[in-house]
Chain A
């Protein structure tokens, strides 16, 4: 299994890659990622904190279930910061946001690799 944290530019594949039952829904999950990234960025840019929190929370809940523990971990980091941050929340989570988008891009890049077709 890839050590996702140490190889920042490599695609990430699901830990359920060999689980036949999961293949179909993992692809649905991966197909939704570009739109989710766009939604995350749009809500972040427009400072719509409620919608942004909701999207992050959904990734936190679903990511690990689809075999992407790193999504859950990164989303949880953002959620924790959002909980304690106040007015300047965007500045405070900017770095985590960039990291999160990178993770999502790497996950999406894994589509088609090693069984994700």
Chain B
């Protein structure tokens, strides 16, 4: 998520060390961190690794040129949203038009005019910051302030991809408030909203590395990085107890409970997919509901219970 005071990262991809030094000197004092590479291949790797806010990209380089690299950056979901400014010794308008059509946001001509260089870089970083904020807003649940379903789905894909590259398990937890409809009917929806907000706070109050999202109405999804199912069970159990013990304003006797279903990546002998993980965690959640609610259930390898799924594949309880 975007932080207000985060220092922007700018990656320079240019085969000339003289240009590296020049940019370093000319951009000294700007609120940014610079990284440098001399080739497109190395530049692409660094773009994935550093996830910069802006790339200053040379057009003419040995091997893959700037246009080729821009195409590659725009094709890859990990680098697609990085702003790219071409720095080019060419002044030909067809090259500029080509670069802009391909997704570059600006062109800076070599040799640089320092004040123009700084202004264009600042402008690009400002726009990029606003874009990230907009994107972030689109991923936040308006009521609870935690990530929404869209954000959850994205992060789940990312975590699975990470887990494939660096083999380590992670756990997926689905949490559903028990008899929430009854609570809404009894205390009205405004109180239901208070419960959802408070539960979101409780779920987010665990480990900082955990990703907590509102998955649907009264359902929450948690991604627990580098966590196997035993550790995940302990996390979920603590959260379950915290929800059960929560005190509700003006309703001293009220007890709100939640059921949890959990699975981790180690349960899968075949390829792990978001759908497969969600189905597994959902099965476990269903079992928790069947077994009396207010409990945590772990997904087992071979489920004998067939889960009735709705058309949109959301859990049915």
Contacts and interface: CB of A to CB of B under 8 A. Distances in A.
Interface string A51-75: 0001001101111111001001000
A65 B28 contact: no
Interface stretch (A22-30, A84-92, A96-104, A108-116): A22-30
B143 interface: no
Interface in B65-90: 89
Contacts of A65: 18-19, 22, 26, 110-112
A25 B89 contact: no
B18 A66 contact: yes
B267 to A, nearest CB: 54
B99 to A, nearest CB: 16
Nearest to A64: B111
B18 A64 contact: no
A65 B56 CA distance: 16
A96 to B, nearest CB: 17
A61 B110 contact: yes
Given A57-B89, A60-B110, A61-B89, A66 B16 contact: no
Interface residues of A, number: 20
Interface in B47-68: 58, 60, 62
Contacts of B60: 57
B22 A21 contact: no
Q: Is the interface of B mostly helix, strand, loop or mixed?
A: loop
Contacts of A64: 110-111
Nearest to A21: B25
A69 B89 CA distance: 13
A76 B60 CA distance: 14
B24 to A, nearest CB: 8
Interface string A11-32: 0000000000110110011001
B111 A72 contact: yes
Contacts of B15: 54, 58
A39 B138 CA distance: 54
A62 B62 contact: no
Contacts of A66: 18, 22, 111
A63 B110 CA distance: 9
Contacts of A72: 89, 110-111
B98 interface: no
B18 A62 contact: yes
A76 to B, nearest CB: 8
Interface string B28-57: 100000000000000000000000000000
B301 interface: no
Contacts of B25: 21-22, 24-25
Interface string B204-241: 00000000000000000000000000000000000000
Given A57-B60, A57-B89, A62 B111 contact: yes
A69 B111 contact: yes
Contacts of A57: 60, 89
A72 B111 CA distance: 8
A82 to B, nearest CB: 13
A114 B22 CA distance: 21
Contacts of A22: 25
Interface of B: 15-16, 18-19, 21-22, 25-26, 28, 58, 60, 62, 89, 110-112
